[in-house]
Amino acid sequence: MRELNRVLLVDDDEDIRVVARLALETVGGLQVMDCSSSAEATVALESFEPDLILLDVNMPAEDGPSLLRRLHRQGTHPAVVFLTARASDDDRHRYVAMGAAAVVAKPFDPMQLASTLRQIYRDQAGD
């Protein structure tokens, strides 16, 4: 089974990107590329082949769910985990029904973020 190594982090909030990147790289030992928009993520996907995309739900221009739908239409299928402050059970079910592997709630625990994503990745690979 492949292990999680590469994460594309997409969030329009610079503070979230800084904390998540540090958590994933320094604590988790993962390779991370971060983007501030869906447009940047689209360009990054041309050269950076992530195992998982950690994707903010609410962003200007194209939001996370719209990017996920577009990736599916294009046949791009890395695991997608939504990162959102809206993480009620109904929200989680709706995002998973869209094709997300899981949802991580904001605020997240930086010390646990990498292990959480690794578990989600393993769970999805076991399907």
Q: Is residue 40 part of a domain?
A: yes
Q: What percent of the chain has pLDDT over 90?
A: 82
Q: How far apart are CA 29 and CA 14, in angstroms?
A: 21
Q: Which two tokens stand for residue 34?
A: 């971060």
Q: Is residue 1 part of a domain?
A: no
Q: Is residue 48 part of a domain?
A: yes
Q: Is residue 68 part of a domain?
A: yes
Q: Is residue 115 part of a domain?
A: yes
CATH code, 115: 3.40.50.2300
Taking only the tens place, the pLDDT of each residue in 69-118 is: 999 998 877 899 999 988 788 989 999 999 999 999 999 999 999 999 99
Q: What average pLDDT does the segment 42-56 reach?
A: 95
Residue given tokens 């010390």 in the structure block = 111
Q: Is residue 101 part of a domain?
A: yes
Write out the H or E segment, with its range, that includes residue 52.
Answer: strand 52-56
Q: Is residue 58 part of a domain?
A: yes
Q: Is residue 69 part of a domain?
A: yes
pTM of the model: 0.94
Reply yes or no: is the peptide bond before residue 107 cis, omega within 30 of 0.
yes
Burial (0-12, 13-18, 19+ Cβ within 10 Å), 114? buried
Q: How many domains does the chain have?
A: 1
pLDDT at 120: 96
Q: Can you give the residue range of the structural domain that contains 56?
A: 6-125
53 neighbors 41 (Cβ within 8 angstroms): yes
Question: Residue 125 above 80 pLDDT?
Answer: no
Q: Three-state SS string across 69-100, please?
A: HHHHHHCCCCEEEEEECCCCHHHHHHHHHHCC
